[in-house]
């Protein structure tokens, strides 16, 4: 169970001490499933975003103190952000991680910041609680976050957008990353495209994506 958790196939509930399958489980047999039933909705999200933008598209979930990629479609451009499924990013230092905290309370986020600051390595910058809360509140209001200059991948920019809880109770994020200059020029159009893509692929026609119903 712990090995599956580390690989991102199970999430762990610390309060109930229980495991729950993540969205990554969907991809265990995707190579066979697509031939018989066609691509699933999550695969379509990533593939369509990748095809539309030319940049690296991905899905991410939370794994303890990290955001973990569970599906990746690599960029087709010469300047690209290279990611791999299973790869993890610090939850407070990445666009995916901040987006995944959308529905986490401010008090819990503050505790998380204090813990990560206490455990940070000497070369890592101190994280300001106010800055994290500001970013998460932006996600709550706008349903996306745009990081112009990645702390983890120098020269890269990332857009991350939480998927609606009506479709996925386990927090999951759709994202796209690429060279800062190229992605920045497409920022507004990509945010619109991602919002429409999520609405069309995941939600009933009469659903309101912002309300998650």
User: Does residue 125 fall inside a structural domain?
Assistant: yes
Residue pLDDT, tens place only, 150-186: 989 999 999 999 999 877 778 899 999 999 999 999 9
User: Does residue 6 fall inside a structural domain?
Assistant: no
In the structure, what pLDDT confidence band is assigned to residue 130 with cuts at 50, 70 and 90? very high
Alpha carbon distance 140, 211 (integer Å): 10
Which range has the worst mean pLDDT, 96-100, 108-112, 169-173? 169-173
Task: Find all residues with CB under 8 Å of 156, minimum gap 6, and list them.
Answer: 81, 150, 177, 178, 179, 180, 183
This prediction has a pTM of: 0.79
User: Does residue 4 fall inside a structural domain?
Assistant: no
User: Does residue 156 fall inside a structural domain?
Assistant: yes
**Number of structural domains, the chain?**
1
Q: Classify burial at 204, counting beta carbons within 10 Å of its beta carbon; exposed 0-12, middle 13-18, buried 19 or more.
A: exposed
Backbone angles phi, psi at 127, to 5 degrees: -100, 125
Alpha carbon distance 186, 26 (integer Å): 30
> Which comes out higher in pLDDT, residue 28 or 199?
199
Structural domain harbouring 130: 38-202
User: Does residue 25 fall inside a structural domain?
Assistant: no
Backbone angles phi, psi at 123, to 5 degrees: -80, -5
CATH classification at residue 170: 3.30.450.40
At 5 the pLDDT is 64
| CB neighbours of residue 104 within 10 Å | 14
In the structure, what pLDDT confidence band is assigned to residue 145 with cuts at 50, 70 and 90? very high
Alpha carbon distance 72, 207 (integer Å): 27
User: Does residue 27 fall inside a structural domain?
Assistant: no
User: Does residue 165 fall inside a structural domain?
Assistant: yes
Q: Classify burial at 205, counting beta carbons within 10 Å of its beta carbon; exposed 0-12, middle 13-18, buried 19 or more.
A: exposed
Identify any residues that bridge with 90 across adjacent strands, giving them in sequence order. 66
User: Does residue 101 fall inside a structural domain?
Assistant: yes
């Amino acid at each position: 169970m712990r090995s599956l958790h580390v690989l991102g196939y199970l999430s762990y509930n610390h309060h109930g001490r229980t495991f729950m399958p993540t969205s990554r489980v969907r991809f265990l047999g995707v190579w066979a499933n697509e031939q018989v039933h066609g691509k699933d909705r999550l695969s379509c999200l990533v593939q369509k975003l990748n095809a539309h933008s030319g940049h690296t598209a991905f899905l991410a979930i939370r794994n303890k103190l990290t955001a973990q990629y569970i599906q990746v479609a690599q960029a087709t451009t010469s300047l690209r952000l290279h990611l791999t499924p299973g790869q993890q990013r610090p939850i407070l230092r990445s666009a995916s991680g901040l987006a995944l905290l959308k529905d986490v309370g401010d008090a819990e986020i503050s505790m998380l910041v204090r813990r990560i600051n206490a455990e940070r390595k000497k070369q890592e910058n101190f994280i300001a609680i106010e800055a994290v809360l500001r970013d998460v509140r932006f996600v709550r209001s706008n349903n996306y976050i745009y990081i112009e200059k990645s702390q983890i991948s120098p020269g890269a920019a990332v857009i991350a957008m939480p998927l609606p809880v009506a479709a996925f109770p386990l927090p999951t994020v759709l994202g796209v990353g690429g060279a800062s200059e190229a992605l920045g020029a497409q920022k507004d159009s990509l945010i619109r495209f991602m919002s429409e893509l999520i609405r069309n692929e995941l939600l009933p026609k009469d659903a309101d994506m912002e309300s998650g119903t």
